[in-house]
Amino acid sequence: MNLPAYYPNSAKINAQNHLEIGDYDLTELTERFGSPLYVLDEKTIRDIAREYKQSLDEFYPNNLPIFASKALALKAVFSILQQEGFGLDVVSAGELFTAESINFPADKIYLHGNNKSIDELERAINYSGTKIIIDNFNDIKLLGELNKPVDCLLRLTPGVECHTHEYIKTGHLDSKFGFDLEHLIEAIEQIKKTPNINLIGLHAHIGSQIFEVNPYEDVARILLENYVKLGEKYNLKFNELNVGGGIGITYTSADDPPSIRQVMQILSNKVKSLINEFKLEPPKLIVEPGRSIVGRAGVTVYEVGSSKTVPKGRHYISVNGGMADNPRPITYQAKYSACVANKAAEQNSQVYTIAGRYCESGDILIKDIELPANIQPKDLIVLFGTGAYNYSMSSNYNRVPRPAMILVQNGEAEIILQRENLEDLIKHDVLPSRLAN
């Protein structure tokens, strides 16, 4: 049976009509670890990481793919990607600390952010070899105050539009990220007055969940044109070109993203063409995939509870999770696909709306999806494509503990994120003595 493109690579339906991932029956997995449950397929992560690395090695050997860790910042994920030859894009002291905790090579870590604290900058510099992406004038000021040598890239806002959600566009001019082209000269002049900053390259990122290839070519040209202009004017020796990430993934059958290999080939050929046009030494080409590495590798398994049919309206089924473990539908109007794990081969014949358990009318995971008829309490609903930004953006709304995450591979299942319990919810609460009974 050919499964849809949004399933993890190792997914299959077994003889019991149950969905398996990593050769592990999801029904048995939830019996062992409970639900809701984040499940991460190691094979999918490694397959996709290798597609990036092998494509880049073929088309542009001087490269470094770095994982945008905001998508899923866990020690196990960082370790897998380190083994696959990746670096890291981190945006906080917490993400950097996670990398430090597994001794991730500092010279492959890049600190991003539009409002870095001086403590975050100092931590990155002290983790010797970490590079800083300068996003604004305050970064330059704080780095000057620290007065410690550091390699940096300058982030541009290239003004390249792409068809994605308004909240995840970052390359257009009206963005909180980066320097617009009109302020580049002023930024460079301030950097030149800050002798501890060693400017080694330029960076841009145009957004997320992108299905087009042309914007990457446009970004490459804008970056390399400024490479030449700024290098000549200020006698700068750039050697890194970071074009960001953002390649989209398949969440539903309506999504049709380009292949990773296709994007890497077109991007690499464009960069090589521009290098020849501008007579440059080939810089290191850096790309920053996040969602496209882990998104499709992850699923979330929920247990069905109550149901409700509205007269002349929808048939709701409620599950034991929702907006706190997956805030993307209520935040971005994100769309997902689903199946019933314990009825995985049954014909879809009834339309349902999958509702979350949280006290918001907008807590709807999927509106109007066809699933097998007669879904019952205790059935297991699987949402696909939840590996990116679900745990990262999760919360304890309604004082509900976050789910566990399980890494599956070749019939083995290991906890990589412990399930929170009720004690975890109050461990940081402080009751003033005057209020104690």
For residues 135 and 157, membership in a common domain is answered with yes
State the pLDDT at residue 160: 63
Catalytic residues: 359
Residue ranges making up the domain that contains 188: 42-290
**Percent of the chain whose pLDDT exceeds 90:** 89
For residues 29 and 127, membership in a common domain is answered with no
Number of domains in the chain: 2
241 three-class SS: strand
CA atoms in the 13 A half-sphere facing the CB of 104:
33
3 occurs within a structural domain: no
CATH code: domain of residue 396: 2.40.37.10
53 occurs within a structural domain: yes
Distance of CA 98 to the CA centre of its chain: 16
Peptide bond preceding 36 in cis form (omega within 30 of 0): yes
Q: How confident is the model at residue 313 (pLDDT cuts 50, 70, 90)?
A: confident
CA distance 326 to 387: 10
411 occurs within a structural domain: yes
For residues 284 and 404, membership in a common domain is answered with no
For residues 64 and 166, membership in a common domain is answered with yes
400 occurs within a structural domain: yes
- 3-state helix/strand/coil string of 149-205: CEEEEEEEECCCCCCCCHHHECCCCCCCCCEEHHHHHHHHHHHHCCCCEEEEEEECC
For residues 184 and 135, membership in a common domain is answered with yes
CA distance 96 to 141: 21
273 occurs within a structural domain: yes
- Beta pairing partners, 413: 408
For residues 22 and 62, membership in a common domain is answered with no
| Nearest C-alpha neighbor of 247 from the set 327, 176, 164 | 164
Q: What mean pLDDT comes out for the span 373-377?
A: 95
59 three-class SS: helix
State the pLDDT at residue 181: 80
Among 290, 312, 336, where does a domain finish?
Answer: 290
pTM higher than 0.85 for the full model?
Answer: yes
For residues 283 and 307, membership in a common domain is answered with no
For residues 23 and 84, membership in a common domain is answered with no
Among 257, 290, 323, where does a domain finish?
Answer: 290
90 occurs within a structural domain: yes
- Percent helix, percent strand, percent coil in the chain, to nearest 5: 35, 25, 40
The pLDDT tens digits for 51-94 are 999 999 999 999 999 999 999 999 999 999 999 999 999 999 99
The pLDDT tens digits for 166-188 are 333 344 455 677 898 888 999 99
59 occurs within a structural domain: yes
6 occurs within a structural domain: no
For residues 68 and 149, membership in a common domain is answered with yes
Q: Which two tokens stand for residue 109?
A: 């870590």
For residues 80 and 107, membership in a common domain is answered with yes
For residues 346 and 384, membership in a common domain is answered with yes
For residues 55 and 18, membership in a common domain is answered with no
CATH code: domain of residue 57: 3.20.20.10
